[in-house]
Chains A and B, each alone.
Chain A
């Protein structure tokens, strides 16, 4: 493979920004945000340059690598810190740095009054660097470094506004769920290392055909767990809504365009694993299908604009995961939807931030209404994103989502009908809840207090929104023109098997548009044509109650995992501290009182510890004895 010594600058530029802004401290307050933005833009420029170079090469020699140094070298096992830029990673690089730079620009104005703006920009740059490492690493181990890095940067960014009380629990939940995902990835790495002897993508790809299907299935399921945790998929989806406590630009960057899509990247990058493990692949598709409905249903009941968008993100990533689970036929479309989604969802999040900016940080859509007149630019940019997400032609989402639905339907047999049907149904629900967001925010009568003074946001904020809106309009068409994007990525994947078409494409599009029309119509009838309460009504169906409480995801998690976990921990602590003491005390050695408070701070009696050692010794001898016999 061709080597290219320029790849490191993609990461080095934002990393340099993060380090220097943190090290310089207050001295950089005046210009730190500008430096960070410039470096992010610089990284984007490097990405564009690399793209132009890549386009100039013929298909076989497009991927390039750069070895930075030998990271781990243990016997025959070598991991280099190496970067790999191919058609897949360049797509991500441009998305990350492009959308990232726009969000940097937006944040200059959005965070203008924050005394710690410099620190915020340092974290943004750190995030960009980590995310780039994630998509540029040439092995699972390098990817893992970026994977943990984006996690760290996202905690720093969500926690940036730490005055919010809800943050503490939100971060804990996000942390635990991500930890489960990370654990999946570390298992996957260990399995690859132990049974294939390599952790590089090319190495695993090479060995994949010789490995047993069981190994590949185990590897695939572990990778899926990783993806599920990072991308907020069922059943580890509960953290995404809570993560909305962070600043809105962060939600746009991390929780819409980039970090949460890392799971999709991981699965598509590991296509050779899943192609060799059909069961794991089917599981991927099922998880995607469940999540796309799950997220959409939650979205129908949310009154908090950011949480509604978060539910929608969950659902849209469900589409991508579904696509990634459809095998070689779906990989390219999953990534295409990821890119178009990056445009329209980031644009809508920034739009939501703009609305909040003009409404004193109010997030309850029931307290909005008629903002179309006061924020025309936000209305238009948000509206274009809206048209894109519900899949109206010729906006971006139409192409990418339509192709996903079509591919799902053509997956063959009952599987195809079920998956495709779910995707179609999801399109209808998406149209309903997104129309609801539009109506409640922009077109229904005003429901805000008179002390609100809604106003349009400054140019630094709306220009990025406008650029993203342009992307929401044209990106789908451009990428799908002559199936350009599919052909671009095709060389990386296996050839898809032939499937007969279940329905002709035009019929699929017609069905999807019908579903969308139904969804929009219901929303219009319910919210535009009838009165909307400014407080959420209580006399609603049982289902709405469920949906408002995120389909009971927290309750289920608590009952299934949290409480048993806590019970085990406290039981162990009890055993450690009191049971043994209690047993000894029970014999009647109460003579030594508990004494001063100082002594109380250590509950253990030395005789109990000695007794424990004795019991342990007996157990150990018994164990060795039993084994030997």
Chain B
């Protein structure tokens, strides 16, 4: 007979996630009961408060790291704490971008081009639902890298994905494209979730367990049917590789990056990557480490293809958001090196890289929101030419972020690349080192081309201009830029902190 075991929950450990969820629920209540005029400001306030409180409570419980919670479905360890903190910091600076309502449609339910849409624009309506949606996504992202039970992992995946599908469709301009992107993202996301679930099923079939520790024990014991393990690893990887945008599961990302409101793209590109790579690192380091001969060659191949493909195809892009999308594909390849390394320095390097890349990404997309004409954001790169002459500061900041993506010294990107490739080389993957450096060199080409375009070409006279950033956007860009350069010039404190903290609890 099945007896019902009442679950015990360690609230202190779960508090960071619960605070974010509570913020989201309050946000829903505000949507339901607060007068329309008061919503935008109170939502922003609630969202930021929830995120900051969550970060504070995370810092408070940092010393109780290395414990399990919620019936061992969540593990709170050093690496998990760092990943959650990264997600929160990135979310805070990304939420400030959301505050600029110019990005979002006035009424999401109005048909594009309809009278209703025009009326909603005239009434200056605002979709303030973005805030609770964002908080739900953040909660899912925070759960994703600390979940140690595959079922919890799947729940986290859906909690983080569903709000993002919605958010992607809320663009104010070019709404058809935005909605198309959202639908694509949703359909393909559902498809990949199915793979992920299949993977869970096979792994359960292999080990009779859904916990990472149980699967690890089965791999070490070697008693299960290896075909189930193999299919389980493959299917689970597909779900994760989809989320991080690795080739050949990348096809959605350029369309979604381009179609989604830029502030959402910033949040999604930065925070989702941290969450998904965090989960991937945990699963491979904890459960599959002993089965590395099975999965490593395939993952190396995917990493190599992803780096080269992302870097090469980015060269051909004429749209800044698509270019950044392909660049993020290339970075997914670089980050896979950290998973493949499967050593402590790989873990440290990955966490550093994720944080550094996430911050720079939010900053770069923050700048994209500023370059506009009368019809909204200008993402055609040709129309960015001469930006450096009109708005030297904005162009300089963007150049800084691009240099960080390119991995030029004195930016965080250089330290990240250096440590992650070294870690991969340490583990014996010479191919990763060579291909990584080569494709970084290729990638540098299109980053620098944009810099040349901004600073050395004459401005085009077609109404493209840089709007005066709102205070929130300014904070986002300045914080991102300062972090990007500080981590390039003096990374030691953070690296030391990661080194002494980052570890996975088996």
* B partners with A: yes
A625 to B183, CA, bound (A): 33
Closest 5 CB pairs of A and B: A616-B248, A609-B251, A623-B298, A159-B456, A145-B409
Flag if A167 contacts B456 (CB, 8 Å): yes
Asked if A176 meets B445 with Cβ closer than 8 Å, knowing A190-B422, A624-B234, A627-B293, the reply is: yes
Closest to A70 in B: B492
Closest to B434 in A: A187
Asked if A628 meets B294 with Cβ closer than 8 Å, knowing A162-B457, A602-B180, A609-B251, the reply is: yes
Asked if A627 meets B297 with Cβ closer than 8 Å, knowing A615-B248, A616-B238, A620-B237, the reply is: yes
Which of chain A's residues have a CB closer than 8 A to the CB of B312? 568-569, 572
A115 within 8 A of B: no
One of A177-185, A488-496, A517-525, A550-558 at the interface: A177-185
B162 within 8 A of A: no
Could you list 28 A-B pairs, sorted by A, with CB under 8 Å? Answer: A71-B490, A74-B422, A74-B499, A155-B452, A168-B457, A175-B448, A176-B445, A179-B441, A186-B440, A190-B421, A194-B426, A572-B312, A572-B313, A576-B251, A598-B176, A599-B180, A602-B177, A602-B258, A602-B259, A610-B188, A610-B191, A613-B188, A620-B234, A620-B298, A621-B230, A624-B233, A627-B293, A628-B293
A side interface size, CB within 8 A: 61
**Whole-angstrom distance between the Cβ of B356 and the nearest chain A Cβ:** 13
**Whole-angstrom distance between the Cβ of A167 and the nearest chain B Cβ:** 7
Which of chain B's residues have a CB closer than 8 A to the CB of A576? 251, 309, 313
**Whole-angstrom distance between the Cβ of A538 and the nearest chain B Cβ:** 34
A296 to B130, CA, bound (A): 66
**Whole-angstrom distance between the Cβ of B185 and the nearest chain A Cβ:** 9
**Whole-angstrom distance between the Cβ of B78 and the nearest chain A Cβ:** 16
Query: Which positions 424-438 of chain B face chain A at CB distance < 8 Å?
Result: 425-426, 433-434, 437-438
**Whole-angstrom distance between the Cβ of A11 and the nearest chain B Cβ:** 13
A625 to B422, CA, bound (A): 29
Flag if A183 contacts B441 (CB, 8 Å): yes
Which of chain B's residues have a CB closer than 8 A to the CB of A599? 176-177, 180
Closest to B422 in A: A193
Q: CB-CB contacts of B239-275 with A at 8 A, as 1s and 0s?
A: 0001000011101100100110000000000000000
**Whole-angstrom distance between the Cβ of B222 and the nearest chain A Cβ:** 13
A628 to B298, CA, bound (A): 11
**Whole-angstrom distance between the Cβ of A116 and the nearest chain B Cβ:** 10
Q: CB-CB contacts of A592-619 with B at 8 A, as 1s and 0s?
A: 0000101101101010111011011101
Q: A-contacting residues of B (Cβ < 8 Å)?
A: 174, 176-177, 180-181, 183-184, 187-188, 191-192, 195, 226, 230-231, 233-235, 237-238, 242, 247-249, 251-252, 255, 258-259, 293-295, 297-298, 301-302, 309, 312-313, 315-316, 345, 348, 408-410, 415, 418-419, 421-422, 425-426, 433-434, 437-438, 440-441, 444-445, 448-449, 452, 455-458, 489-492, 495-496, 499
**Whole-angstrom distance between the Cβ of B486 and the nearest chain A Cβ:** 12
Flag if A623 contacts B176 (CB, 8 Å): no
Flag if B242 contacts A613 (CB, 8 Å): yes
Flag if B426 contacts A624 (CB, 8 Å): no
Flag if B410 contacts A74 (CB, 8 Å): no
Asked if A183 meets B188 with Cβ closer than 8 Å, knowing A145-B409, A167-B456, A624-B230, the reply is: no
Flag if B441 contacts A182 (CB, 8 Å): yes
A393 to B104, CA, bound (A): 76
Flag if A187 contacts B238 (CB, 8 Å): no
Since A171-B456, A569-B313 are in contact, a sample of 16 more A-B pairs with Cβ atoms closer than 8 Å, ordered by chain A residue number, is A73-B496, A74-B419, A144-B409, A162-B458, A176-B445, A179-B444, A572-B313, A602-B255, A609-B188, A610-B191, A613-B188, A613-B249, A616-B238, A620-B237, A624-B234, A624-B295
A617 to B437, CA, bound (A): 27
Flag if A606 contacts B187 (CB, 8 Å): yes
**Whole-angstrom distance between the Cβ of A82 and the nearest chain B Cβ:** 14
A141 to B198, CA, bound (A): 47
A573 within 8 A of B: yes
**Whole-angstrom distance between the Cβ of B202 and the nearest chain A Cβ:** 11
Closest to A625 in B: B230
**Whole-angstrom distance between the Cβ of B490 and the nearest chain A Cβ:** 7
Closest to B389 in A: A162
Chain A binding surface SS class: helix
Contact of A606 among B183, B309, B345, B409 (CB under 8 A): B183
Which of chain B's residues have a CB closer than 8 A to the CB of A625? 230
**Whole-angstrom distance between the Cβ of B308 and the nearest chain A Cβ:** 9
A537 to B496, CA, bound (A): 68
**Whole-angstrom distance between the Cβ of A171 and the nearest chain B Cβ:** 6
**Whole-angstrom distance between the Cβ of B334 and the nearest chain A Cβ:** 14
Which of chain B's residues have a CB closer than 8 A to the CB of A171? 452, 456
Which of chain B's residues have a CB closer than 8 A to the CB of A180? 441
Closest to B396 in A: A22
Which of chain A's residues have a CB closer than 8 A to the CB of B195? 613, 617
A570 within 8 A of B: yes
Query: Which positions 496-540 of chain A face chain B at CB distance < 8 Å?
Result: none
A75 within 8 A of B: yes
Which of chain A's residues have a CB closer than 8 A to the CB of B434? 187
A2 within 8 A of B: no
Which of chain B's residues have a CB closer than 8 A to the CB of A179? 441, 444-445
Flag if A148 contacts B408 (CB, 8 Å): yes
Flag if A606 contacts B234 (CB, 8 Å): no
**Whole-angstrom distance between the Cβ of B343 and the nearest chain A Cβ:** 11
A175 to B492, CA, bound (A): 31
Which of chain A's residues have a CB closer than 8 A to the CB of B313? 569, 572-573, 576
A432 to B264, CA, bound (A): 65
Which of chain B's residues have a CB closer than 8 A to the CB of A190? 418, 421-422, 425, 433, 437
Flag if B455 contacts A621 (CB, 8 Å): no
Closest to B192 in A: A613
A313 to B338, CA, bound (A): 44
